[in-house]
Structure 1
């Protein structure tokens, strides 16, 4: 049975580079466990309860002794950063996430709002070197021993950003030609997932694959990325998605996806309530599929061992909204 997950500062060690996916090492705890927080859609200079969410993240981070933080994108509103010296970086990140427990590595992907600014600034090694806990790349892999995390750049997949940009100007440097970029990325992700021997595989992207929120499913990801996730396992497949683009928080969607004439259980987790929320738009699905939905502010914690994953959703006051757990048997070598 195979499982796939779609959701002090440790020095980064680059170990292998492929065409698109750089690999970094992140040490697990001495007992082999791993714990981290997931947050998305946050960079609003403390407004819209961003500071309140950050405070509670610090409290939970201390309780769980987290190893790192994942950002699912839309890191700086409304249009990313203007450059590596943009004061918005300090105003929305450095001066907001000040708790000692959050002074760990932040692994971040880009969201569509980030693409409206100077993308190269967020990706710049100059910014990373100056702020040691900040790491943002388009797509990359983190090997955390008990789990392997695959970060995927989902914004270039979405057609409307190219065909109907409206008043927005997107910074597409580095991804052209688009079809080639997407094709190569999908091949890299597919190969990396197939070759991974990790106990747990975690895929993180900005846009939702399945969602009951305002934007709904991302059709381009359903057509192009989802089949790769489905093909990772020929048996039961459990997928967590941690995406911020809905500007909602706390969504679990359980659905059986038909793949090669076989239904595979898929789970999608959304964490996008780092600041502005409360859209009030819910496209309700079958209650047997949609287990939890909350469109306010908050964040998510994840604890991983060789045999178990525990996920908890917290609101802006740090109250536990929902808990989810799954486990698997260890296979013994005889």
Structure 2
């Protein structure tokens, strides 16, 4: 990933949840910040702005500490649990809209012992913010990023996806400017395009612990169990998302045209 960043000259990194797998962090001084993040993503070309969101595993710890780490690390750019950022280069604008998906799923909200912060979040306030943000967006491209998939092949409980479809996707479908929804959580690559819908739904794989068993579902354009990462590139007419394995090979490209 660092070598790819050096070759391409990336603008930033989007970390869409579960940087801290398993139990999350207890504080900004938790040793997991070193073992899960600082020592892993140590390539000089990765010393730039990172835009994170919480995954369900961060919600098993202290989510305020995830926000507060922005005061410790100058590359950890997380102003809130959901926020937006515009990237502009060569007169091309891309609006990144980062959403907090764990509170949108009822099974996390109800399990206050394991996910103590999930039920405290006002999801209607977040969805209203998202609705207004998308309505106001005038950039060349709009990408929404969150941890949990709206559509995916997985053995995880179906209610995760139905909650996401009923809450998050209901807002996305109101707006014609959303090109992609990019998520994680499943630990493999999946690209899904539903009939009659212009949104590309993409699951980004894990950087380490991949789940190689993945099958096609309705709308699947591509799926692979390799580990790796993704790279976004855009001009005025085309938005490309390159799915890249851990060896740096592009295994598939999601191409979204105007």
Structure-1-length-normalised TM-score:
0.71
Quick check: 1:224 aligned with 2:171?
no
The correspondence for 2:191, drawn from 229, 249, 252, is 252
**1:240 aligned residue:** 180
| Offset of residue 241 of structure 1 | 2.0
Q: Can you give the 5+ residue segments of structure 2 that lack an aligned partner in the other structure?
A: none
Q: For residues 326 and 219 of structure 1, what CA distance do their matches in structure 2 show?
A: 25
Q: CA deviation at 1:278?
A: 2.4
Question: Which of 302, 308, 332 is the aligned partner of 2:232?
Answer: 302
Q: Distance in 2 between matches of 1:324 and 1:244?
A: 16
- How big is the shift at 1:283? 4.3
2:84 to 141, 144, 150: 141
Matched, 1:155 2:102: yes
The answer (yes or no) to whether the contact 2:181–2:199 under 8 Å persists in 1 is no
Structure 2 residue corresponding to 1:200, chosen from 141, 144, 155: 141
Larger radius of gyration: 1
After TM superposition, list the pairs within 5 Å mapping 1:29-40 onto structure 2. none
Per-residue CA deviations over 1:39-94 (Å, capped at 9, x if unaligned) read xxxxxxxxxxxxxxxxxx01111111000000110110211111111111011111
CA distance in 2, matches of 1:69, 1:303: 13
The question of whether the paired residues in 1 share the 8 Å contact of 2:144 and 2:178 is answered with no
After superposition, the Cα gap between the structure-2 partners of 1:189 and 1:114, relative to the gap in structure 1 and judged at 3 Å, is same
Name segments (4+ residues, structure 1) moved above 6 Å: none
Distance 1:104 1:205 in 2: 20
Q: Is the 8 A contact 1:214 1:246 kept in 2?
A: no
Instruction: Classify 1:324/1:77 alpha carbon distance in 2 versus 1 (closer, same or farther; 3 Å).
Output: closer
| 3-state SS of paired residue (1:255) | coil
Choose between structure 1 and 2 for higher RCO, CA contacts under 8 A separated by at least 6 residues. 1
Q: Does 1:321 align with 2:251?
A: yes
Q: Secondary structure at the match of 2:115?
A: coil
Q: CA deviation at 1:271?
A: 0.8
Higher mean C-alpha displacement, 304-313 vs 210-219: 210-219
Contact 2:25 2:66 in 1 (8 A): yes
Q: Give, in whole Å, the separation in 2 of the partners of 1:311 and 1:154.
A: 21
User: Which of 115, 119, 128 is equivalent to 1:187?
Assistant: 128
Is 1:274 aligned to residue 189 of structure 2? Answer: no
Q: What secondary structure is seen at the aligned counterpart in 2 of 1:147?
A: strand
Deviation at 1:292, TM superposition (A): 1.0
Shift of 1:253: 0.5
* 1:212 to 2:114 alignment: no
The Cα of 1:273 is off from its aligned counterpart by 1.2
Number of residue pairs matched by the alignment = 251
Which consecutive unaligned segments of at least 5 residues does structure 1 have? 1-56, 257-262, 329-334
Matches within 5 A, 1:68-217: 68-124=12-68, 127-136=69-78, 137-145=80-88, 146-164=93-111, 169-172=114-117, 176=120, 178=121, 181-215=122-156
SS in 2 for 1:265: coil
Per-residue deviation at 1:279? Answer: 4.9
Query: Residue 273 of structure 1 contacts residue 295 of structure 1 at CA under 8 Å; is this kept in 2?
Result: no
Measured on the aligned residues, the alpha-carbon RMSD in Å equals 1.9
